[in-house]
Amino acid sequence: MAIRIFVTGGTFDKEYNELTGELFFRDTHLPEMLSLGRCRIPVKITTLMMIDSLTMSEQDRAVIARNCMKAKEKRIVITHGTDTMIETAAVIAKTVKDKTIALTGAMIPYTFGSSDGLFNLGSALAYVQVYNPGVYVIMNGRCFEWNNVRKDRRAGVF
Amino acid sequence: MAIRIFVTGGTFDKEYNELTGELFFRDTHLPEMLSLGRCRIPVKITTLMMIDSLTMSEQDRAVIARNCMKAKEKRIVITHGTDTMIETAAVIAKTVKDKTIALTGAMIPYTFGSSDGLFNLGSALAYVQVYNPGVYVIMNGRCFEWNNVRKDRRAGVF
Amino acid sequence: MAIRIFVTGGTFDKEYNELTGELFFRDTHLPEMLSLGRCRIPVKITTLMMIDSLTMSEQDRAVIARNCMKAKEKRIVITHGTDTMIETAAVIAKTVKDKTIALTGAMIPYTFGSSDGLFNLGSALAYVQVYNPGVYVIMNGRCFEWNNVRKDRRAGVF
Amino acid sequence: MAIRIFVTGGTFDKEYNELTGELFFRDTHLPEMLSLGRCRIPVKITTLMMIDSLTMSEQDRAVIARNCMKAKEKRIVITHGTDTMIETAAVIAKTVKDKTIALTGAMIPYTFGSSDGLFNLGSALAYVQVYNPGVYVIMNGRCFEWNNVRKDRRAGVF
């Protein structure tokens, strides 16, 4: 069965606006990244929102959790800003019990050419195929259970 | 315990010689790739050889298998050219029984800026941490048991 | 005689801070860019400041003009943010009469991997070797006299 | 009046074939490179051939010279492999007297992400707009008259 990928934005998908010099969101780069990785796992991609996770509201998290619940797939990857990834994982964990859900993200935008996103995406798609139901955070090559991880914002690692 | 990474060359590590216009090997890019991926898993990297897997001899494969056997680590990733990755996996599988060994590679050199290597490396490091002892081929986001995979050379996929 | 390159910052040299998600300045990438371009023209690089040209004060422009005047070299390239490049060119033109001075910049930071900076740098170094004394703005493959150019901010071109 | 660009192949336009591991030619990347450089000079691009300059015959050089002669434009840039760029320049110089013709190339393919091609293209388009009729070789930020240049193949520079 296919893996569902829910896109929510985050550094993963940020782009540089050359007229204003600011970062912004347009479309997700997930299909391009999967193609670059020559990924042959069947996946279905749905963009739920395109936002910075610092601006994510409780209502946004509820939308994500509800979509995880409604999805037919038993294995789900969520791309998400790293700043509040753990908060969203906690909300999902309270709502969804019977699925393997992996949240992942990036420290550098994919479009800036030196992203950790491709590495994390490879990890997340591997872990999500193997682990038992639960909610996991996949960063830095590691897989954490949602209630056993925190972000060290000064170092930028989990 | 750390994961051992054995480097054997392959497309992963090919570079472009601007004087001759040919591809060649110099040093491995594994440390740079792990750093780019912000990998925080403890790894130890050893370069066993730097060759194209089409030129790999039975003696070379024996060297790889012997190093897998002697390694203290129980989990090993091997970077390898894709053309004879499965042959090497078979040789290792006959020799090493109590370790989880993941062979991975790339279709495009890392130095050419659009490599699937970073994605595969993320996958391989995830799978190797999770799976039971055995010899696996990790490509295209998938994990195959060594005796249940073949390369489709026309399509360039496993 | 060598060409003098004065670095003042601008989009050219912006980098992405992965901890804060903001753009910032560190060191100039000019030496790396010249090396990438296999540039064999003798150049001497001096960093005068590392700022966004929107924050450039009249005092900053005076510093740039004074350095152009004091430089022993007769041919000078200045890397500069595009937003106020023309204002700085006007200040220099009033002060320096006997040198060929070329201001250039970029719409996309060099570190983001898809910069127009390398192209503009190639143009600027060519024009500055050929033209008579005067102050020029080099962007989009074109060379404009300082008093005959304006930036179309909506389109991002000169 | 527009600048004519004649594409003949060379390292500029080489790509990596991931199935065979060899370098090959497909389409030219000139339009993409000009777009990346935000080039606003009117140009017209014609692909005359897509070959390695080591395999270029006298007949091929005659084709290039004839096209330079027939072109309506007075200013022409030719992208060319670096190995026999000077030989081709000599053939053109004997045939075409009233045009400014700039040959340029690259040491690293554009698709490999670290090409000197973008820098050289910026230089060539600048020099070709400024110089008097004649045949020039533009490499490493420099402009050489065709009969006053040689390639140092060991160092890879002109």
Task: Report CB contact under 8 Å: D19, B153.
Answer: yes
Contacts of B130 in chain A (CB under 8 A): 126-127, 130-131
Number of Cβ within 10 Å of residue D142's Cβ equals 20
Task: Please state, in angstroms and rounded to a whole number, the distance separating the CA atoms of residues D46 and D78.
Answer: 10
Yes or no: say if D16 and B156 are a contact pair by the CB < 8 Å rule.
Answer: no
Strand duo D134-139 + D142-145: pairing: antiparallel
Is C133 an 8 Å CB contact of chain A? no
Helix (H, G, I), strand (E, B) or coil at C61: helix
pLDDT at C107 over 70: yes
B2 touches A: beta carbon within 8 Å: no
Tell whether B142 lies on the interface with A, counting CB pairs under 8 A: yes
Write the CA distances from A157 to A127, B121, C2, D70, integer angstroms: 19, 19, 45, 62
What is the distance between the alpha carbons of residues B10 and B105, in angstroms, rounded to a whole number? Answer: 7
Q: What is the pLDDT of residue A112?
A: 87
- Strand partners for D134: D100
Write out the DSSP string of chain A.
Answer: -PEEEEEEESGGGEEEETTTTEEEE-S--HHHHHHHTT--S-EEEEEEEEE-GGG--HHHHHHHHHHHHH-S-SEEEEE--STTHHHHHHHHHHH--SSEEEEE--SS-GGGT--SHHHHHHHHHHHHHHSPSEEEEEETTEEEETTS---BTTTTB-
Residues of chain C with Cβ-Cβ distance to A14 below 8 Å are 21
Chain D neighbours among C 31-60 (CB < 8 Å)? 33-34, 36-41
Determine the distance in angstroms separating the CA of D143 from the nearest CA of chain B, rounded to an integer.
Answer: 21
For B48-83, the pLDDT digits (tens) are: 999 999 999 999 999 999 999 999 999 999 999 999
Residue C99 pLDDT > 70? yes
Q: What is the dihedral of CA C78, C82, C88, C89, to 10 degrees?
A: 70
Q: How many CA atoms, within 13 angstroms, populate the side-chain half-sphere of residue A92?
A: 35
Among D38, D111, D149, most C C-beta atoms within 10 A, so best to mutate, is: D38
A154 CA: distance to closest CA in chain B (Å): 14
A129 shares contact with chain B (CB less than 8 Å): yes
**Helix, strand or coil, per DSSP, at residue C44:** strand
Q: How far apart are CA A29 and CA A48, in angstroms?
A: 14
Touching partners of C (3+ C-beta pairs < 8 Å): A, D
CB-nearest to B18 from D16, D21, D108 is D108
Cβ contacts of B60-63, under 8 Å, gap ≥ 24: B60/B8, B61/B87, B61/B88, B61/B91, B61/B92, B62/B91
C19 touches chain A (CB under 8 A): yes
pLDDT at C114: 66
Cβ distance B39 to A119 less than 8 Å, yes or no, reads yes
Find, in chain A, the residue whose alpha carbon is nearest to that of B131: A130
Which one is predicted more confidently, C85 or C115?
C85
pLDDT of amino acid B138: 97
Query: Range with the lowest mean pLDDT among A113-117, B62-66, C50-54, C146-150?
Result: A113-117
Top residue of A13, A14, A16 to mutate, by most chain C CBs within 10 Å, is A16
Torsion of CA C111, C89, C153, A24, to 10 degrees: 20
For D19, name the nearest residue in chain B, comparing CA atoms only. B156
Tell me, rounded to whole angstroms, the distance of Cα B111 from its chain centroid: 16
Locate the chain B residue with the closest alpha carbon to D82.
Answer: B19
In angstroms, rounded to a whole number, what is the distance separating the alpha carbons of residues D92 and B44?
57
D41 → closest Cβ in C37, C120, C141: C141
Closest CB to D107 among C33, C38, C123? C38
Which DSSP symbol is given to B109? -
pLDDT tens digit at each of 158 positions of chain A: 899 999 999 998 999 998 888 999 999 999 999 999 999 999 999 999 999 999 999 999 999 999 999 999 999 999 999 999 999 999 999 999 999 999 999 999 998 876 899 999 999 999 999 999 999 999 999 999 999 998 888 888 89
- Ordered DSSP codes for A58-101: HHHHHHHHHHHHH-S-SEEEEE--STTHHHHHHHHHHH--SSEE
Average pLDDT over residues C95-110: 96
Cα(D128)–Cα(C126) distance, integer angstroms: 10
d(CA B52, CA B117): 15
Residue type, B50: M
Tens digits of residue pLDDT in B71-120 = 999 999 999 999 999 999 999 999 999 999 999 999 999 988 768 999 99
pLDDT of residue B122: 97
> Considering CB atoms only, which of C14, C19, C52 is closest to A156?
C19
| Cβ-based contacts of A52 with chain C (< 8 Å) | 21
Tens-digit pLDDT string for chain D (158 aa): 899 999 999 998 999 998 888 999 999 999 999 999 999 999 999 999 999 999 999 999 999 999 999 999 999 999 999 999 999 999 999 999 999 999 999 999 998 876 899 999 999 999 999 999 999 999 999 999 999 998 888 888 89
